[in-house]
Structure 1
Amino acid sequence: MRINKVALAVTALLAASQVHAAGFQVSEHSASGLGRAFAGEAAIGDDAASLARNPALMATFDKAQLSVVGSYVTPEIDVTSTTPGLDTNDVAPAQAVPAMYYIQPINEKVAVGLAIYSNYGTGTEYPDDYAAGAIAGTTHIVSVNFNPNISYRLNEQLSVGAGVSLVYATAELERNVGYTGTLLPQDTNAATMEGDGYGFGWNVGALYEINKNNRLGISYKSKVKTELEGDYKGTSTSAASRGDTTAGALSPFVGQKTVDGTLDINLPSILEVSGYHKLTDKFAVSYSWMYTTWSDFGDIEAKGAECNDITGAGPGTCLVKKEDFNNSSRYAIGGEYYLSEAFTLRAGYALDEQAGEATLSIPDTDRHWYTAGVTYKASQALSFDFAAALVAGDEITFEEEGTSFTSSGDAYIYSAQMNYSF
């Protein structure tokens, strides 16, 4: 019944999204990129981690390279309300985001590579006895993209690349009764979902090298439909959903069965356009525009043969969550200062536009990225990248279920990366 759980998981994970990126997008692909707020990522190609953004960049490598990345995200997201008892702090837990990339040139024209990273995923954790537990709770979703690629250099200036993706996603969700006006404890379980599944996608890219100091890049990642399967238990499998009302007002929480279920989630497509310009021997600027088709996401609807949604959706429906997502853009600009042969300094800024209508489970908002980083080249073969970022989310007030909420908070990201050339 993976789908049920995933639906809820995706919903809640958006609550933490404002500390990562629009919707529930994950941007922490590399430490080198984080240092410049991921500006110019489709055009620079300074290490193997660039494979996460544009496969055509592999054509610029004349040696095999391995990049291993670890990022740590510490959100500080608080929710307040004009209604007493609904204030809560730190609803998004800290998370680790690993990634690995390998590029292997075959000859002067062809290179192949493998990227293992995540484009989407996050989580939220509200207290078990939170009064609005029916629309909040615990939600986790993780996706991993296994992405083999190939590039081809058409001439000295133009290179192209393409790849395919196997995306594995897993999610879990718990919802509690919250305040109902009955004698039920607020931490009474209302719904539990768990599941995982796979999806397939593709990506393409191109790189145009005007000269050795100026490059332009473009890349596109397709929408990925993931089919989640797993287990669900909740009000749509309760005694009331089977027509037994002997328990009266408590019947939706009595006799809940664990059943199989499925959920389809559309992970949006991503278009990125980037530029890189080395203005002097010491200084370079880069920029990017990223466009994500969040309108592909749609509503969250969990299905199961043994579910009978008591809210009126009918037999076979375990859970329905309406979402309101619009396509959004991310704008980034960065600078690099080549201090010496061994050290490169970076800084960047990005504006990440809000993707979804704010709700308690998805308090999406605009985010401002302020970043800095450094590369240390230990030898001709070995280098290290370190970066940190403040992601400041705008305070946003929204209304849900007739109650006003305000969400606010920032996130801190720390990233380290090792690059080794063979």
Structure 2
Amino acid sequence: MLMSHHHKVRLSQSAIFIAAALSAATASAAGYQIAFDSVSGLGRAYAGEAAIGDSASAMGRNPALMALFKQAEVSGALIYFDADISVTGDSQALSSDDTVPNQFVPSTYYVQPIDEKLAFGLGFYSNYGLGTDLKDDFAAGDIGGDTALLSVNLNPSVSYRINPMFSVGAGVSVIYATGEVNRRYGAANPTSPSGKILSWEADDWAFGWNVGALFELDNNNRFGLAYRAGVDLELGGDFTDHTPGLVAIPNGGVADSNSNVPLPATAEFSGFHQLTPLFAVHYSAFWTQWSDYTEFKASGSGCSINGGTCFVKPEKYDDSWRWALGATYQLNPAIKLRAGIALDEKAGATTLSIPDQDALWFSTGVNYQHSSEWSFDLGLAYMDRSNETYTETSLFVGEQTYRAEGHLVILGAQANYRF
């Protein structure tokens, strides 16, 4: 038999709680947020990003920073992270190494001053995404599996200098997102533990907006404030019940489904202070409205076993903060050194599907001014993720205690060209 009658009954009665959250741990910030929007920022742990404006990538964080540019500039960045994050249970069957796949994160930005007051910019990057992959034969396969979310953001923006001290900016975003979830039998089917229970694939287009302000106290001191509005994705696609009608669809099969996944609102306050001709300090406080995320749920009329619910998993998320402090030193006319430290507060309760952890960043970087047109940035960061011990209940293995721990190494390169 595929499963015992006991497991069949439990699966049928509790199927709507099977799917784990789409917001499984990312390799960057809390929840499913991506923190890698530039390499120049990576080298200082993204401290001061809403106030510095030293490359075209600044427009993605605060559009008002485009007012600082006197010439057109384009920046292209590629960041690679090597993740070593594991989940450890009471046995090998309940443990999984390398749960976050290594990834490349690209981005491109362009800033074009129109005149002394007006500037235009265009960014192509991502603010949210994730990838987690527990081993296929993980015993608690009903609450652990593989999950992916990819979002890309095309963000045209404008800035306007009101006076020598105050500038504002605003942008709109065209966002495309796609998600995928797979959950497996695990201990419920020892002969084929990697067999799928359910799958889900969906995508959506959405629109958003962001605004920012820049206050220049003088040539050496400025402050930035940026806000990005939340976006409600309505991901539509196929939900597949791989069981013989035990999860959501009578007789199994495929049904259309829709799932609301919020991209939370964010706000950032930053400061930049050029203390000497060679040395500057900068800092940021970054807030994310994670409390908007209360559940991951897919619905469709074809999921009639559960009254139109394909799956649902309640979430326990709270608003979170990221604190960053950095410094910049001009070693010589061609080389600028950067360093930074940051604390990412976790957003949600730690679970198998959301092994969210506090993260401490240690970053360093360098900018090389090759010519009046070309400059290059390198950044390196080590992210130490806190150890989290938690309990979670699976339909197949009952309540178990798990431990999530690990770290990331992040490396990036960026080229900047000034026209």
TM-score (norm 1): 0.91
Q: What's the CA shift string for 1:147-173, capped at 9, x where partnerless?
A: 110100000010000011111101111
Question: What amino acid maps onto 2:49 in structure 1?
Answer: E
Task: Give the alignment partner of residue 373 of structure 1, picking from 361, 365, 371.
Answer: 365
Contact kept, 8 Å, 1:142 with 1:171, in 2: the verdict is yes
Moved more, 379-388 or 182-191: 182-191
State percent identity of aligned pairs. 45
Contact kept, 8 Å, 2:24 with 2:147, in 1: the verdict is no
Map of 1:17-416 to 2, 5 A cutoff?
A: 17=26, 19-83=27-91, 85-180=93-188, 182=189, 184-234=191-241, 238-240=244-246, 255-309=251-305, 314-401=306-393, 402-416=399-413
Q: What's the CA shift string for 1:13-35, capped at 9, x where partnerless?
A: 523x2x31111110111110000
Q: What's the CA shift string for 1:263-320, capped at 9, x where partnerless?
A: 11111000000000010111000000000000112211101110135xxxx3211010
3-state SS of the aligned residue for 1:339? strand
Q: What's the CA shift string for 1:20-55, capped at 9, x where partnerless?
A: 111111011111000000000000000100011100
Cα drift, residue 81 of structure 1: 1.2
CA distance in 2 between partners of 1:131 and 1:147 (Å): 43
3-state SS of the aligned residue for 1:85? helix
CA distance in 2 between partners of 1:142 and 1:117 (Å): 11
Question: What amino acid maps onto 2:351 in structure 1?
Answer: T
Partner of 2:414: 417
Cα drift, residue 73 of structure 1: 1.0
CA distance in 2 between partners of 1:338 and 1:243 (Å): 63
CA distance in 2 between partners of 1:8 and 1:377 (Å): 53
TM-score (norm 2): 0.92
Partner of 1:250: none
Cα drift, residue 85 of structure 1: 2.1
CA distance in 2 between partners of 1:240 and 1:114 (Å): 48
Contact kept, 8 Å, 2:18 with 2:143, in 1: the verdict is no
Cα drift, residue 12 of structure 1: 5.2
Cα drift, residue 260 of structure 1: 1.1
Partner of 2:12: none
Contact kept, 8 Å, 1:220 with 1:272, in 2: the verdict is yes
3-state SS of the aligned residue for 1:305? coil
Contact kept, 8 Å, 1:9 with 1:140, in 2: the verdict is no
3-state SS of the aligned residue for 1:33? helix
For structure 2, the residue ranges without an aligned partner over 5 or more in a row are 1-16, 394-398
Q: What's the CA shift string for 1:64-83, capped at 9, x where partnerless?
A: 11000100011100111125
CA distance in 2 between partners of 1:137 and 1:347 (Å): 37
Moved more, 131-140 or 93-102: 131-140
Q: CA RMSD in A?
A: 1.7
Question: What amino acid maps onto 2:24 in structure 1?
Answer: L
For structure 1, the residue ranges without an aligned partner over 5 or more in a row are 1-6, 245-254
3-state SS of the aligned residue for 2:224? strand
Cα drift, residue 202 of structure 1: 0.8
CA distance in 1 between partners of 2:197 and 2:413 (Å): 40
CA distance in 2 between partners of 1:8 and 1:205 (Å): 41
